[in-house]
Structure 1
């Protein structure tokens, strides 16, 4: 959207995500954690699989009853086949990727202990995105930084957004 509507988008915050999902990035992230595919990691079929996903995605150790996990699986992972197909379709080969040089300011907001998309990856993405990119790392947070450290995350988000859209004193 930022690439298509340059005049409408003044700034973008990227958190625990990539500008484009490259096959090489997905394979490195997934295999480094011990999964065979992206869909195996993101679409668990068992309570143990969900526990593994959440332990990889968060910095804190979640200790919840198994009933919570089974209810979560039932509610969130219906239409598994369609979700897996959609997920695999999002991944494009490295040869097809063209990371645009955005004109807008981009702020990469990352959890220091992200095991899925590690901090070094975010720093490389910052270099590829261009000169308008900034990078910030929040301590004691993983891939789910917005859930684990919401106060710090929102503070950083507000700070970036206020620098992109300075307060004019008028309300719309």
Structure 2
């Protein structure tokens, strides 16, 4: 991270005695434990027929799993770019558990405590790593919810492992974007490099820009000292690797090569999404050819999972509880 300008450095120094981001991170972890989940680091071997000769695993997936008996109704929750999984899924735990689901919440590779020393940065690698972790904890079949980048990984996982993924919910996941869309002005950025700068912010002004793009009603006041603290605690790790994830995701992407899912799929979108505009929601709904349902949530943007957690959670619960035939193609607004 580049050094802050003098004024920001002084402001940051005044706030360093008490880290709001670290305290909030501990609070979210506590909420997960109170909900009956426990943290688990799942080591995965390197590729090839021979066991990994290195005593350190090639890849480690950190995940929150039910602390009790094996899950009977597992629901895999995949986060998007930003902080670790606990920050994005904490508001959903109580309602999902009360509805009879067993949430399993991993950190994707290079987020939270998940990492790899392998060079692959593709969404297929992420999908394979999470699937291997699910196998390791003894969960062969599950429902899946993916938000934004987690939706890219979830879509790829559902296509790669249809025998494991029962149903899919994709929240503001622009999986139908094409690289040419950036140059044609569909997004607020004109290239992959600018997208990486937007989604992997390194300075307070970059965080403010991201928040204003993703929220319909962003906070009016975002003090630099708090933003520096957030970047230091939650956003300063694996910056290069996260940038590489975005390049691998977008470079050469074409709709004609995108797999069609066989599972019933729920698409949830914020009506005022400025990161992945509504065009991508309708494009995905058409691409799935009647095997999906689109729910548009009003007065919400790309961060619909944070702005409207009750509405998003209600739609997720209803979708995963309804009969398979209920996932017919429709457009709903909430």
In the superposition, the TM-score normalised over structure 2's length comes to 0.45
Which residue in the other structure is 2:203 paired with?
A: 46
Alignment of 1:11-160 (within 5 A): 11-19=167-175, 22-27=178-183, 28-31=186-189, 37-62=194-219, 63-75=221-233, 76-95=235-254, 98-160=257-319
Listed one character per residue, the Cα deviations across residues 137-163 of structure 1 (whole Å, up to 9, x for unaligned) are: 111111011110111110111111111
CA contact (8 A) 1:106 1:133 kept: yes
Report how far residue 10 of structure 1 moved. Answer: 2.1
Report how far residue 22 of structure 1 moved. Answer: 3.2
Report how far residue 102 of structure 1 moved. Answer: 1.4
The ranges of structure 1 where at least 4 consecutive aligned residues each deviate by more than 6 angstroms after the TM superposition are none
3-state SS of 1:69 partner: helix
- Structure 2: any 5+ residue segments left out of the alignment? 1-156, 326-334
Report how far residue 109 of structure 1 moved. Answer: 0.3
- The RMSD of aligned alpha carbons is 2.5
- The answer to which structure has the higher helix fraction is 1
Listed one character per residue, the Cα deviations across residues 95-120 of structure 1 (whole Å, up to 9, x for unaligned) are: 58512221111111011111011112
- Structure 1: any 5+ residue segments left out of the alignment? 167-172
- The answer to which structure has the higher strand fraction is 2
Distance in 1 of aligned mates of 2:255 and 2:307: 35
In the superposition, the TM-score normalised over structure 1's length comes to 0.84
Distance in 2 of aligned mates of 1:85 and 1:160: 34
3-state SS of 1:64 partner: coil
Distance in 2 of aligned mates of 1:3 and 1:55: 33
CA separation of 1:35/1:89 partners in 2, compared to 1, >3 Å: closer, same or farther? closer
CA separation of 1:95/1:115 partners in 2, compared to 1, >3 Å: closer, same or farther? closer
CA contact (8 A) 2:174 2:280 kept: no
Listed one character per residue, the Cα deviations across residues 74-111 of structure 1 (whole Å, up to 9, x for unaligned) are: 22133322221222122231458512221111111011
Please say which structure displays the higher CA radius of gyration: 2
Distance in 2 of aligned mates of 1:95 and 1:150: 31
CA contact (8 A) 1:26 1:38 kept: no
Distance in 1 of aligned mates of 2:222 and 2:301: 18
Which residue in the other structure is 1:169 paired with?
A: none
